């Protein structure tokens, strides 16, 4: 098909006083920020021991980076050696990463909530020489999982260090020595970012300093983060989206980063910290919206009516008399919603998975446009994003100004940019499968069209369910519709080689209890008759949500199941559903839903690829 956006011509203008041409490493970007605004607010976090919020300016954070760099220098690691970080978001995470770059080492992020087996695989595959861990128990578990012969030392952030090859963080910092910084090189390897591995072992995408910087500066040109912004950090820093578009973007802009205490404290953190921006995955926005709906349902009837009128105004033509009238009526509700989100939020970005267009439109109608973007680890990671003032809820936005796009066979999106990975660490075959000789990255994502330079994606090339009837369906679209319903916390659609589609749904506990009560069913008693009544009610709700989709995308049966979590292995470290694992764990339920239609020897979706 026709090539789009293959002619790139960038005229550089300094961003926040920093010119891209003058920055040749991630460490140099941080150094430039410290020189420009040493007393500016850099970060704040909650100190659990002191039970209070603490903060650092850029000079104070630089001192913390230097202490980590001196500690690393004492290990006498050669440039290019890998150092892993498995810590909570906060000043120690970013200080460790900046110190790694300062010494010409390679950063390897590991999710704190990752399984022991996955963390051990990353340490072993990367050949990490040192790892920063939250507590000694993590080190003991890793040692029991794998020998890790390349690992010289585990640095324990909290509590004592136990066992061989371990040291406390205080001891590590106290043993620091002077060092000489190696020359900066844009082409040098900056990090290994391990992909989520939904269909197998995670692979390390090799990203150079130049690739990361190209993505940081391009994101900054698209989003225009400001020095007076305060960014709420929600995603783990090991997530490339949070680290590149969030943290490094804040470094470039001179903005402050406030580290959230976690999902359970999100509503309170928004009100207390009053951020102006946040990056999150769709699940965060779905939960925020569900929380808003719960608050509305518990309120008086007139406020409920005004809230829904405000949401419905998203479909009214902009600037019309009807919209102006609606805004006058609902202005108080909109202000209340904004106050509940801190009152200053002007930039909310969604990435990592498709965001429901309904939720995006609803937030926009409530005065908070959520800018959906698209990317993947291998692309550095951001490929496209909706721009402020030009957001289309159905789209993943326009490509960044240094990204070329092409539609390949089967509607696959190909991208080429200076932000692309070099390849997968020690896996040439996998690299050749996604990077061609002309430098195009074959994303595996299906694009329906490139319209007005915006990307419209429909799911993964391989994430298509082919039913036994030969009919095909894209499960992601159905799951997004279901998860837009406040009653459903999570949903997975199955149907590969089966006669029809089914859904496994995880209900919201409070709303599910209310549904039971409305049906006159006892709590916690699930005999066959009770279960059938609940499934019928849930099924009818699903039919409403999917009513305008084609017959091929209709759910014919469903069951409710316990939550999909990292701990039970049913989510990836980036909180995407492991469709095949879920199908196997709930195989009995799956077979019950297909009873009488196909043999029980089939395990649905066991070979399906999944959305990254």
Would you tell me how many other CB atoms lie within 10 Å of the CB of residue 307? 24
Q: What is the pLDDT of residue 315?
A: 59
Confidence label for 5 from pLDDT (cuts 50, 70 and 90): very low
Q: Give the rounded percent of residues in the chain with a pLDDT score beyond 90.
A: 57
Q: What is the pLDDT of residue 200?
A: 53
pLDDT tens digits, residue range 146-198?
A: 999 999 999 999 999 877 899 999 999 999 999 999 999 999 999 999 986 44
Q: Which helix (H) or strand (E) holds 353?
A: none
Helix (H, G, I), strand (E, B) or coil at 317: coil
What residue ranges define each of the domains in the chain, with the CATH number in brackets?
A: 40-183 (3.40.50.980), 465-593 (3.30.300.30)
- Supply the angle between the helices 475-483 and 282-297 in degrees, to the nearest 10: 30
Across the range 225-232, mean pLDDT stands at 95
Q: Give the rounded percent of residues in the chain with a pLDDT score beyond 70.
A: 88
Asked if 570 contacts 578 with a C-beta cutoff of 8 angstroms, the reply is: yes
Q: What is the dihedral of CA 247, 252, 256, 262, to 10 degrees?
A: -10
Residue with tokens 């009100």: 271
Confidence label for 470 from pLDDT (cuts 50, 70 and 90): low
What residues are paired with 52 via a beta bridge?
47
How would you class 146 by CB atoms within 10 Å of its CB: exposed for 0-12, middle for 13-18, buried for 19 or more? middle
Q: What is the pLDDT of residue 298?
A: 76
302 vs 166, more confident: 166
DSSP state of 390: B
Please tell me the distance from the alpha carbon of residue 593 to that of residue 559, in angstroms, as a whole number.
8
Most confident region among 55-64, 265-274, 317-326, 512-521 by mean pLDDT: 55-64
Q: What is the pLDDT of residue 602?
A: 34
Q: What is the pLDDT of residue 393?
A: 87
At a CB cut-off of 8 Å and minimum separation 6, what does 47 contact?
Answer: 53, 54
At a CB cut-off of 8 Å and minimum separation 6, what does 596 contact?
Answer: none
Asked if 598 contacts 498 with a C-beta cutoff of 8 angstroms, the reply is: yes
Please tell me the distance from the alpha carbon of residue 395 to that of residue 208, in angstroms, as a whole number.
29
Asked if 578 contacts 609 with a C-beta cutoff of 8 angstroms, the reply is: no
The number of residues in the chain equals 612
Q: What is the pLDDT of residue 609?
A: 27
Q: What is the pLDDT of residue 99?
A: 98
Q: What is the pLDDT of residue 476?
A: 82
608 vs 53, more confident: 53
Across the range 527-541, mean pLDDT stands at 90
Across the range 2-15, mean pLDDT stands at 46
pLDDT tens digits, residue range 102-120?
A: 999 999 999 898 878 889 9
- What number of CA atoms fall less than 13 Å from residue 489's CA on the CB side? 14
**Quick check: 425 pLDDT over 70?**
yes
pLDDT-wise least confident of 182-186, 210-214, 307-311, 459-463: 459-463
pTM confidence score: 0.80
**Quick check: 9 pLDDT over 50?**
no
Q: What is the pLDDT of residue 601?
A: 33
Asked if 280 contacts 288 with a C-beta cutoff of 8 angstroms, the reply is: no
Q: List own/partner pairs for 134-139 with CB under 8 A and 24 or more apart.
A: 134/86, 134/87, 134/88, 134/158, 135/159, 136/160, 136/161, 136/162, 136/163, 136/166, 138/86, 139/163, 139/166
What residues are paired with 166 via a beta bridge?
154
DSSP state of 224: -
12 vs 140, more confident: 140
Confidence label for 324 from pLDDT (cuts 50, 70 and 90): low
Q: What is the pLDDT of residue 176?
A: 97
**Quick check: 199 pLDDT over 50?**
no
């Amino acid at each position: 098909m026709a090539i789009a956006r293959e002619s790139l011509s960038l005229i550089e203008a300094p961003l926040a006083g920093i010119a891209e041409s003058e920055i040749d490493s991630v460490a140099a970007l941080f150094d430039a920020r410290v020189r420009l605004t040493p007393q500016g607010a850099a970060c704040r976090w909650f100190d659990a021991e002191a039970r209070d919020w603490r903060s650092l300016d850029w000079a104070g954070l630089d001192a913390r980076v230097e202490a980590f760099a001196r500690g690393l220098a004492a290990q006498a690691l050669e440039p290019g050696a890998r150092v892993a970080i498995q810590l909570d978001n906060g000043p120690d995470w970013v200080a460790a990463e900046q110190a790694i770059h300062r010494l010409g080492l390679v950063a390897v992020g590991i999710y704190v909530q990752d399984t022991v087996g996955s963390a051990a695989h990353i340490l072993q595959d990367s050949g990490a020489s040192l790892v920063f861990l939250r507590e000694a128990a993590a080190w003991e578990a890793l040692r029991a999982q794998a020998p890790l012969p390349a690992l010289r030392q585990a640095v324990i952030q909290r509590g004592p260090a136990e066992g061989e090859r371990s040291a406390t963080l205080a001891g590590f910092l106290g043993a620091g020595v002077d060092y000489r910084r190696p020359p900066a090189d844009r082409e040098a390897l900056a990090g290994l970012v391990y992909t989520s591995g939904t269909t197998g072992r995670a692979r390390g995408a090799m990203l150079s300093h130049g690739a990361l910087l190209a993505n940081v500066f391009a994101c900054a040109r698209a989003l225009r983060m400001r020095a007076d912004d305060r960014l709420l950090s929600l995603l783990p820093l090991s997530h490339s989206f949070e680290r590149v578009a969030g943290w490094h973007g804040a470094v470039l802009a001179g903005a402050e980063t406030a580290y959230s205490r976690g999902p359970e404290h999100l509503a309170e953190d928004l009100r207390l910290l009053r951020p102006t921006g946040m990056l999150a995955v769709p699940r965060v926005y779905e939960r925020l919206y569900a929380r808003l709906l719960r608050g509305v349902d518990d309120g008086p009837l007139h406020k409920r009516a005004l809230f829904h009128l405000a949401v419905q105004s998203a479909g009214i033509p902009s600037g019309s008399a009807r919209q102006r009238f609606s805004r006058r009526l609902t202005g108080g509700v909109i202000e209340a919603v904004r106050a509940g989100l801190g009152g200053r939020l002007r930039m909310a970005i969604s990435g990592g998975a498709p965001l429901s267009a309904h939720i995006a439109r609803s937030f926009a109608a409530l005065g908070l446009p959520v800018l959906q973007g698209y990317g993947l680890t291998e692309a550095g990671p951001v490929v496209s994003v909706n721009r402020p003032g030009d957001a289309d809820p159905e789209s993943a936005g326009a490509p960044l100004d240094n990204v070329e796009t092409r539609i390949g066979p089967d509607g696959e999106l190909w991208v080429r940019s200076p932000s692309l990975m070099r390849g997968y660490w020690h896996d040439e075959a996998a690299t050749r499968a996604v990077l061609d000789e002309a430098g195009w990255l074959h994303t595996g994502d299906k694009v329906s069209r490139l319209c007005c330079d915006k990307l419209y994606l429909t799911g993964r090339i391989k994430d298509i369910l082919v039913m036994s009837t030969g009919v095909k369906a894209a499960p992601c679209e159905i799951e997004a519709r279901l998860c837009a319903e406040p009653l459903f916390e999570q949903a997975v659609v199955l149907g590969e080689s089966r006669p029809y589609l089914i859904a496994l749904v995880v209900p919201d506990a409070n709303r599910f209890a209310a549904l039971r009560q409305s049906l006159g069913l006892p709590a916690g008693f699930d005999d066959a008759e009770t279960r059938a009544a609940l499934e019928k009610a849930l099924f009818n709700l699903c039919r409403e949500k999917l009513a305008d989709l084609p017959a091929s995308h209709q759910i014919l049966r469903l069951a409710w199941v316990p939550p999909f979590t990292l701990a039970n292995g049913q989510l990836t470290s980036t909180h995407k559903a492991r469709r095949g694992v879920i199908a196997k764990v709930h195989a009995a339920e799956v077979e019950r839903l297909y009873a009488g239609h196909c043999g029980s020897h089939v395990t649905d979706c066991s070979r399906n690829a999944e959305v990254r």
